[in-house]
Amino acid sequence: MISRYTLPEMGNLFTDEARFAAWLEVEVLAVEAWASIGVIPAEHATAVRQGVPAVDADLVARINERERVTDHDVAAFVDVVQEAIGPPAGHWVHYGLTSSDVVDTALCLTLTRAVDLLIETSGALVGVLKRRALEFRDTPMVGRTHGIHAEPTSFGAKLALWCLQADRDRQRLLTARQGIAVGKLSGAVGTYSNVDPAVEAFVCKALGLTPVPSTQVVARDRHAEYLYACASVGATIEMLATEIRHLQRTEVGEANERFAAGQKGSSAMPHKRNPIKSEQLSGLARVLRGHLGAGLENVALWHERDISHSSVERIILPDASILAHYVLVRATSLIDGLDVHADRMLENLDASYGLVFSQPVLLTLVAAGMTRDDAYRIVQRNAMAAWDQRKPFRLLLEADPEVTLTPAELDDAFSLERSLRNTDRIFAALDAVGA
C-alpha cells in the first residue's frame, strides 16, 4: 500500500522487519518446544534464544541477498539465522518444520494483531456515530427514497442506523479474529510425521493462537473471512460517505464535511467546498472489495498445497488491513467533525408542499370508511396538483369536496410529531450498542 493511505499503527505490522521478527519468534519457540519434550538439549534452546540476531534493516538486506542464491525466502531466512546463532545450537533452527509452519503461523499472528487494531478502531467509529445520533435524535429531516421526498425522519435516526451497521461490522471483525487467530506446525502435509504435536501446542500457546488441523497450509477460507470483514467495513463506510456527499450538494445543503482554516476546495474556484473525504472513502471501498475477490480465489489450492495464493497474499492482506484501518480512522474523523444544518433540513422538509404527509392522509381516509383505491386516487390527484401548481398539499385537500376529514384529523395527519413518534424503537436498539 502506498504511504498516502498507510497509518503507522497498522503499517508497522507489515514491514519486512515485522515479518521476519514474527518468523524468528516462531522458529525460536519451536526450538524451545523441542527442548521442553527432551528432544533438544535445554542449553541449546537457551543459546538459540540468546543468539538470535536483531531484526533490522541489515538483517533484511542479508536475507534478501541470500535469497538471490536460494530463490526461496524461508530457506534464505533460516540460513542467515543459523549462521548468526552459530553451531551447534543454530543447527536446531527449523528442525522438523516446513516453510508453511513458520510462514502461516507468523502470518496468522500478524493478522490477529491487525484485526485487534481494526476492532479497536471500529469501536471508535461506533462510539462517535452513537454520540452524534443521540445529539440529533430530535432533528427532523425529510427521508428520501429513489432520491425523492418520501416521509419525515430524523437525522439522529439516520445516524443510529449507521451506528448499528458499523457495530455489525465490529462483530464481523470479532468473528474473523476467531477464524484467523490460529497456527499450525504439523509438517509437510499436515500429518505431524516429523514434528511432535506438542511442539505445535507449545508454540501456539506462547503466541496466543489456537492450533488447528491443516494440510501443509492453514485453510484459506479463514483469510477470505478476514478479507470479507475488511470489505464489509469498506461497504458500510462507503454507504455513509455516499449519503454525506448527497447531503452536501448545493441544492440540499443539510450537512457538510468540516472545512478547515487554510483549506482550498479547488485550485480554480475559490468558492468550492467539496466532499473530498467522503469521495476518497467511496473510492477506497472499491479497492477493499477487489481484495475480497482475490482472497476467495485463494481458497482453492492444489492437493495439500501450492503457492498460487502466496504472491496474492503478499499484496492483498497488508493492503486490505492498511486500507480498512485508514478508512475507519478517516470516517470517524469525518462523522466527528460533520457540520449539520438543522434549519436547512427543516426547510427542505417543507419544500415539497407537505406531500411527505400523503400516507397519513390516505390512511385517515381509509379509517374513515373510504375504500383504499378511492382514497389513493383522491390523495394522488391532490398531490400531483400540489407539485404542478406549487401549492400547499393541505390547502388543496381542504378545498376538495371528496375529502371529508375534519380539521383535527388533518392536523393529526400533518403532524411531524406523529411521524416520528415511534423512532424510539430505533434508539432502543442503539442503547444496546456498547461504544
CA distance 416 to 276: 34
* Three-class secondary structure of residue 193 per DSSP: coil
Cβ burial of 385 (10 Å; 0-12, 13-18, 19+) is: middle
What backbone torsions phi and psi does residue 15 show, to the nearest 5 degrees? -75, 165
CA distance 264 to 102: 49
| 345-352 contact pairs (CB < 8 A, 24+) | 345/139, 345/140, 345/141, 345/142, 345/155, 345/254, 346/140, 346/141, 348/141, 348/142, 348/252, 348/253, 348/254, 349/140, 349/141, 349/142, 349/152, 349/416, 351/149, 352/142, 352/149, 352/387
* Three-class secondary structure of residue 97 per DSSP: coil
309 is catalytic: no
- CB count within 10 Å of CB 361 equals 26
- CB count within 10 Å of CB 66 equals 18
Evaluate the CA torsion angle 1, 293, 120, 25 in order and state its sign. negative
Q: Which of 72, 193, 266, 308 is catalytic?
A: 266
How open is the CA angle 143-146-151, to the nearest 5 degrees? 25
CA distance 72 to 69: 8
Q: Which of 3, 146, 267, 271 is catalytic?
A: 146
271 is catalytic: no
The closest alpha carbon to 174, from 215, 119, 102, 211, belongs to: 119
Q: Which three cell numbers stand for residue 68?
A: 538471490
8 Å CB contact between 74 and 26: no
Catalytic amino acids?
146, 266
